[in-house]
Structure 1
Amino acid sequence: MPTVECVPNFSEGRRQEVVDAIADCARRTPGVRLLGAERDPDHNRCVITFAGEPDAVVAAALSCAGKARELIDLREHRGEHPRMGAADVIPFVPIEGIDMAGCVELARRCARRIGDELEIPVYLYGEAATREERRNLSNVREGEFEGLREKIGVDPARDPDFGPRRIHPTAGATAVGARFFLIAYNVNLQSKDLKLAKRIAKAIREKDGGMPGVRALGLELKDKGCVQVSMNLVDYRQTSPAQAYARIAELAAAEGVEIRESEIIGLVPQEALELCARQTMEMKKLRGPDNASQVWLNQFAMETLKLQEFAPQEQIIELKLSDFSPEPPARFAYLKEVGRFLDDLASAAPTPGGGAAAAVLGATGCALGEMVANLTVGKKKYAEVQEQVKADLKALEELRPRVLQLFIEDAQAFDAFGQAGAMPKDTDIQKAERKLAMQAALKGATESPEKTARLCLEALKHVAAIAKVGNRHAISDCGVGALSLFAGINAAVLNMRINLPGIEDGDFKARFGKLADTYESEARTLLESTLSVVRAAIGS
Structure 2
Amino acid sequence: MIAYNINLNTRDHRLATDIAFELREAGRSKRIPNPNSKNLLDGEIVRHEDGKPVKVPGIFKEIKAIGWYVDSFKRAQISINFNNYKISTIHNVFDEACRLASERGIRVTGSELVGLIPLEAVLMAGTYYLKKQNRSIGVPVNDIIECAIQSLGLNDVAPFIINEKIIDYAVDNGDQKEQTMIDTKFLNELSTNSPAPGGGSVAALAGSLGAALSSMVAALTHEKKEMLDSKPLMDEIGVEAQQLKDRLAVLVEEDTQAFNKVMEANRLPATTDEEKDIKKESLDSANKYAIQIPLETAKKCLRVIELSEELVTNGNPNSVSDAGVAAEVALAGLRGACMNVMINLSEIDDTSYCEALQNEVDSLIKNGESIHKKVFEKTVSIIKG
TM-score for the superposition, normalised by structure 1 = 0.37
Q: Look up the equivalent residue of 1:339 and give its one-letter code.
A: T
Task: Give the gaps of 5 or more residues in structure 1.
Answer: 1-335
Deviation at 1:378, TM superposition (A): 2.3
2:318 aligns with 473
Deviation at 1:462, TM superposition (A): 1.2
1:391 aligns with 236
Aligned length: 205
CA-to-aligned-CA distance 1:367-422 (integer Å, 9 cap, x gap): 11111111110212112222112211111111111111111211111101000000
1:538 aligns with 383
> CA–CA distance in 2 between the matches of 1:402 and 1:467?
23
> CA–CA distance in 2 between the matches of 1:437 and 1:476?
46
Q: Which one of the candidate residues 297, 300, 312 is aligned to 1:452? A: 297
> CA–CA distance in 2 between the matches of 1:416 and 1:346?
21
Q: Which one of the candidate residues 351, 356, 361 is aligned to 1:516? A: 361
Q: Look up the equivalent residue of 2:226 and give its one-letter code.
A: K
SS of the residue 2:221 aligns to: coil
1:363 aligns with 208
1:192 aligns with none
More helix per residue: 2
- Is 1:464 aligned with 2:275? no
Q: Which one of the candidate residues 449, 471, 482 is aligned to 2:327? A: 482
SS of the residue 1:408 aligns to: helix
CA-to-aligned-CA distance 1:289-337 (integer Å, 9 cap, x gap): xxxxxxxxxxxxxxxxxxxxxxxxxxxxxxxxxxxxxxxxxxxxxxx97
> CA–CA distance in 2 between the matches of 1:508 and 1:440?
13
- Is 1:372 aligned with 2:217? yes
1:415 aligns with 260
Deviation at 1:348, TM superposition (A): 1.0
2:348 aligns with 503
1:299 aligns with none
> CA–CA distance in 2 between the matches of 1:535 and 1:447?
35
2:281 aligns with 436
CA-to-aligned-CA distance 1:188-241 (integer Å, 9 cap, x gap): xxxxxxxxxxxxxxxxxxxxxxxxxxxxxxxxxxxxxxxxxxxxxxxxxxxxxx
Q: Look up the equivalent residue of 1:392 and give its one-letter code.
A: I
Q: Which one of the candidate residues 257, 263, 272 is aligned to 1:427? A: 272
> CA–CA distance in 2 between the matches of 1:400 and 1:388?
18
CA-to-aligned-CA distance 1:471-508 (integer Å, 9 cap, x gap): 11111111111101000000000000001122011222
> CA–CA distance in 2 between the matches of 1:479 and 1:368?
9
> CA–CA distance in 2 between the matches of 1:352 and 1:384?
43
- Structure 1 residue ranges (4+ consecutive) displaced by more than 4 angstroms after TM superposition: none
> CA–CA distance in 1 between the matches of 2:235 and 2:305?
16
> CA–CA distance in 2 between the matches of 1:443 and 1:507?
13
2:199 aligns with 354
The answer on whether the counterparts of 2:204 and 2:333 sit within 8 Å (CA) in structure 1 is yes
CA-to-aligned-CA distance 1:143-186 (integer Å, 9 cap, x gap): xxxxxxxxxxxxxxxxxxxxxxxxxxxxxxxxxxxxxxxxxxxx
> CA–CA distance in 2 between the matches of 1:375 and 1:499?
40
> CA–CA distance in 2 between the matches of 1:369 and 1:459?
8
Aligned pairs (5 A) from 1:23-62: none
> CA–CA distance in 2 between the matches of 1:494 and 1:475?
29
The answer on whether the counterparts of 2:215 and 2:238 sit within 8 Å (CA) in structure 1 is yes
> CA–CA distance in 2 between the matches of 1:495 and 1:519?
13
Q: Look up the equivalent residue of 1:502 and give its one-letter code.
A: E
Q: Look up the equivalent residue of 1:411 and give its one-letter code.
A: T
> CA–CA distance in 1 between the matches of 2:241 and 2:353?
30
2:245 aligns with 400
Task: Give the gaps of 5 or more residues in structure 2.
Answer: 1-180
Q: Which one of the candidate residues 219, 223, 227 is aligned to 1:382? A: 227
1:344 aligns with 189
Q: Look up the equivalent residue of 2:307 and give its one-letter code.
A: H
Q: Taking CA–CA contacts closer than 8 Å with sequence separation of 6 or more, which of the two structures ends up with the larger relative contact order?
A: 2
SS of the residue 1:502 aligns to: coil
SS of the residue 2:256 aligns to: helix
The answer on whether the counterparts of 2:182 and 2:249 sit within 8 Å (CA) in structure 1 is no
Q: Look up the equivalent residue of 2:303 and give its one-letter code.
A: E
> CA–CA distance in 2 between the matches of 1:414 and 1:476?
35
> CA–CA distance in 2 between the matches of 1:364 and 1:434?
37
> CA–CA distance in 2 between the matches of 1:537 and 1:390?
23
Q: Look up the equivalent residue of 2:249 and give its one-letter code.
A: L
> CA–CA distance in 2 between the matches of 1:341 and 1:447?
22
TM-score for the superposition, normalised by structure 2 = 0.52
Q: Look up the equivalent residue of 1:473 and give its one-letter code.
A: N
1:138 aligns with none
Q: Look up the equivalent residue of 2:193 and give its one-letter code.
A: A
> CA–CA distance in 2 between the matches of 1:337 and 1:535?
31
> CA–CA distance in 2 between the matches of 1:370 and 1:418?
36
The answer on whether the counterparts of 2:220 and 2:316 sit within 8 Å (CA) in structure 1 is yes
SS of the residue 1:435 aligns to: helix
> CA–CA distance in 1 between the matches of 2:248 and 2:353?
23
SS of the residue 2:359 aligns to: helix
Deviation at 1:511, TM superposition (A): 1.5
